Structure 1
Amino acid sequence: MTRISNTAEHDSPAPAEPDLTAEQIVARAEAMVPELIDRQAEVEQRSFYAEDIHEKFARNGFYRILQPRRYGGYEFGLDTFVRVSATLLRGCPSTGWMYTLGAMHTQIVATVLGEQAQSELFGVGDFICPGTAVPSGSAVRNADGGWTISGKWSYCSGSPYGTHFLGHALIAGDDGALPMPLFFVAPRSQWTRLDDWGQQLGLRGSGSHSITMENAYVPEHLALPGVQIMETDVSTGTPGRALHGNPEYGGGPLSFTNLCNAALAVGIAQGALDIYEDLLRQRSTLVPPIVRRHNDPDYQFWYGDALGMICTAEAALRNGVQQWHDNSAKGPAGVTRESDLRLSAISRHVIQLCWDAVANYLMPTAGASSIRHGERLERVWRDMSMLHSHGGISILLPTVAVRELTRTRMR
């Protein structure tokens, strides 16, 4: 994919490595995979990746892949981001998950908020922003137009190194009316991370702690009343598209999020396939003729079919990203609700293909010794199962989203 360059003219800080390319930053992610594999157990024990890994991510420029060049980022776009994301997940699902969900909201902020907000938010350097689309808590407007927000938000992946938090609160309705959502971004000084992650089935090291806010103040320019970000209509343009001169900052937030979710599944499935391939090369069949598993016709079939499914999922993901890019390039009118939902449906099937490959082929035939506690495949299986139980992925995406897609197309 050819990245659409930022055409806005402005005096702005250059990124740390102005000549860094997308291929170079992907290669940096690939080079980290062996270390991420070796450190999976400690990541689970800590419940998030280590400070030195965080520092390497920062030096490698991973946190600035989506950040606009206007504010010292690389503006490489969704294509590069999902490649880096899937690569890190291939090494350690918890680490890759935590990174992805902490870094991806840069795109949303750079799309929907105005210049004042972006200058303030991205001016801190690396912007790491866990977030959730599920409304919680309460928001009350102050006399100066800002908001006082209180509440608790769960599953805020990326929170240990978060510089900000992206959330939705509820504004009480007048005279019995239903509450209205408030989209907001709060700086680190306004929220607290709870120590409540690490005992779940999988993704124990994903830093998915809860966040609380108590009478926290969020200024007017960092909040959008009446906005639920996954429902945002960008077909008439966005502040980010106008500010940065890059159509990708006018893309659909729903499909962007779901394509990132699909990258999570592809990365985890690729890691599972790596382990399975090693097992085929190292272990022998159980009954005569005793041969290395990779020479056995049954294992050849299981591996080959799983490989084909995961490669198909990756191909669909890349095509979905290209469609998202192309729709954005057409201008605001090219980013419709129907296109947003269609790309979300593609993402849903990418995830399902990855799950089917791992659950139906790799896990049943890898052998019980491969899933003992502490084995890499055991950990990856727990992580994949946790992804499969994600409410947005396994409940809302295959039901609400696909039904709305049909209704949108049939109008």
Structure 2
Amino acid sequence: MSVLAANFGEHGFPRPPEPGPKPADVVARAEAIAGSLVERQQETEDRTFYASDTHEAFAKAGFYRILVPRRYGGYEFGVDTFLRVSMALTRGCPSTGWMYTLGAAHALAVATMFPEQAQEEIFAVGDFICPATVMPAGTAERADDGGWVINGTWGYCSGSPYATHFVGHALVSGTAGEPPTPMMFIAPRSQWRRLDDWGQQLGLRGSGSHSITILNGHIPDHFTLDGHMSQFSVAGGTPGLRLHGNPQYGGGPLSFMNLESAALAIGIAKGALDSYEDLMRSRTTLFPPVVQRTHDPDYQYWYGEATGLIATAEAAIINAAQQWQQACEHGSATFTREFEMRIATICNQVVQLCWRAVEQHLLPTAGSSAVRRGERLERVWRDMSMLHTHAGFTVFLAAKAQRELAKARFDIEELP
């Protein structure tokens, strides 16, 4: 067998950088790399995305193939493995973890929702990095060859600096006076351009959440799906389940996206707790008796209370991921609207617990010198505050999900 042939699997797709790692191996690599990210947070913010050597380390560790189907050279690990990697990296650097997570996570949605012909072309690149946005923007018009011409600009495309693809929603003109309807599409890197418009926000300045613009981009029809990602139903089975035979490619993409948001909050909060622990060990109390903070009852309480809140949040997200995976095994019909919204409400509480730990216990008691510009705790607070401005949390998890759960439970239809 030639060296070239050895680099490709039985289906003709690139093999992963290392065959046969176990999920625990990949998680351990993330935990090891996370420590090196702490000291690089400022340069990551200045650059607005993580460094090329970090990107190469992620690729070598196999992080970009965790959710890619084995058929296409991926590891096809469970979502629990992905979430643990996400939490570990975000604990070291929130911006880096955010950029990685929202770039690599959408392999699951693509492998679930798109037909075989599209997947064979999309995953042919090996490593898969694909930011996605849910806000419809721009336009899609039929091309002469039956494909689509896409024009528009989409903001907050986290993961775009090293991305291989982009998933967005464009508006298709309605007929006979009907309003335009959303269409989900995936565009290869050759069809879009990243704008230099990130880095001036309050937090997550290094998350690579730049805008993506497409000017007369052309994509084939099988790279599109009618409707919005949030409305995609898996109840009747999915192309991914039929193609790969793995139940996780028959799960609900929307509920998995909510798990991502919650995992990011846990990683950020853990980073805040790490910073607070360093302060506990290195600083003394302000009032007599002056002792190391680790020996002061008040600091012991604040640290313990925050630890409990974050540990509870982590336990909840691990259980929610288990519920999600069990639902996959029970069949796609398990993913009812009520089940998906129940997962969403758990994720909402996870984020709330993490915010309470940082905002009520760690930040106020750390001391003003610990929140000077550039200090780790100051950056973590900015990053977590930025999470609270994300529409996925503020609009959906914190408000809409609760109402949708109740309506699904009581079979309430929308009012005319």
Q: TM-score, normalised by structure 1?
A: 0.96
Q: AA paired with 2:34?
A: V
Superposed, which structure 2 residues align to 1:372-411 within 5 Å? 372-411=372-411
Q: Partner residue of 1:5?
A: none
Q: State the identity %.
A: 61
State the SS of the aligned residue for 1:148. strand
Please give the per-residue CA displacement for 1:242-299, whole angstroms capped at 9, x wherever unaligned. 1000000011111100001100000000000011011111111100111111111111
Q: Partner residue of 2:192?
A: 191
CA distance in 1 between counterparts of 2:177 and 2:362 reads 53
CA distance in 1 between counterparts of 2:289 and 2:64 reads 51
Q: Partner residue of 2:217?
A: 216
CA distance in 2 between counterparts of 1:19 and 1:109 reads 23
Q: Partner residue of 1:86?
A: 87
Unpaired segments of 5 or more residues in structure 1?
1-8
Q: Partner residue of 1:289?
A: 289
* 1:352 matches 2:352: yes
Runs of 4+ with deviation above 6 angstroms: none
8 A Cα contact 2:30 2:89, kept in partner: yes
Please give the per-residue CA displacement for 1:148-180, whole angstroms capped at 9, x wherever unaligned. 110110000000001110000000111221211
Could you tell me how far 1:143 is from its partner in structure 2? 3.3
Could you tell me how far 1:336 is from its partner in structure 2? 1.3
Q: Partner residue of 2:3?
A: none
Equivalent pairs counted in the alignment come to 402
Q: AA paired with 1:340?
A: E
Q: Partner residue of 1:51?
A: 52
Q: AA paired with 1:103?
A: A
CA distance in 2 between counterparts of 1:12 and 1:85 reads 29
Superposed, which structure 2 residues align to 1:90-129 within 5 Å? 90-129=91-130
Please give the per-residue CA displacement for 1:124-155, whole angstroms capped at 9, x wherever unaligned. 11111011011001111223321111011000
Please give the per-residue CA displacement for 1:26-64, whole angstroms capped at 9, x wherever unaligned. 010011122100111100000000111000000000000
CA distance in 2 between counterparts of 1:18 and 1:340 reads 34
CA distance in 1 between counterparts of 2:352 and 2:24 reads 28
8 A Cα contact 1:15 1:69, kept in partner: no
Superposed, which structure 2 residues align to 1:139-178 within 5 Å? 139-178=140-179
Could you tell me how far 1:16 is from its partner in structure 2? 3.2
CA distance in 2 between counterparts of 1:167 and 1:212 reads 11
CA distance in 1 between counterparts of 2:71 and 2:12 reads 5
8 A Cα contact 1:166 1:184, kept in partner: yes
Q: AA paired with 1:386?
A: M
CA distance in 1 between counterparts of 2:143 and 2:225 reads 14
State the SS of the aligned residue for 1:175. coil
8 A Cα contact 2:102 2:131, kept in partner: yes
State the SS of the aligned residue for 2:362. helix
Greater Cα shift, 70-79 or 137-146: 137-146
Could you tell me how far 1:334 is from its partner in structure 2? 1.4
Q: AA paired with 1:279?
A: L
CA distance in 2 between counterparts of 1:259 and 1:12 reads 32
CA distance in 1 between counterparts of 2:41 and 2:10 reads 43
Q: TM-score, normalised by structure 2?
A: 0.95
Greater Cα shift, 389-398 or 353-362: 389-398
Superposed, which structure 2 residues align to 1:210-359 within 5 Å? 210-225=211-226, 227-359=227-359
Please give the per-residue CA displacement for 1:298-344, whole angstroms capped at 9, x wherever unaligned. 11111111100000000000000000000010012112111111101
Q: Partner residue of 2:414?
A: none
CA distance in 2 between counterparts of 1:250 and 1:367 reads 48
Please give the per-residue CA displacement for 1:63-115, whole angstroms capped at 9, x wherever unaligned. 00000000000001210000000000000000000000000111000000011
Could you tell me how far 1:389 is from its partner in structure 2? 1.3
8 A Cα contact 2:16 2:126, kept in partner: no
Greater Cα shift, 17-26 or 53-62: 17-26
CA distance in 2 between counterparts of 1:197 and 1:190 reads 20
Greater Cα shift, 12-21 or 240-249: 12-21
CA distance in 2 between counterparts of 1:168 and 1:326 reads 30
Could you tell me how far 1:10 is from its partner in structure 2? 6.8
Could you tell me how far 1:217 is from its partner in structure 2? 0.6
Could you tell me how far 1:12 is from its partner in structure 2? 5.5
Q: AA paired with 1:81?
A: F
8 A Cα contact 1:16 1:72, kept in partner: no
CA distance in 2 between counterparts of 1:34 and 1:296 reads 28
8 A Cα contact 1:254 1:341, kept in partner: no
8 A Cα contact 2:16 2:62, kept in partner: no
CA distance in 2 between counterparts of 1:10 and 1:51 reads 31
CA distance in 2 between counterparts of 1:402 and 1:136 reads 27
8 A Cα contact 2:49 2:206, kept in partner: yes
Please give the per-residue CA displacement for 1:214-256, whole angstroms capped at 9, x wherever unaligned. 111110110012x211121101100000100000001111110
8 A Cα contact 1:65 1:75, kept in partner: yes
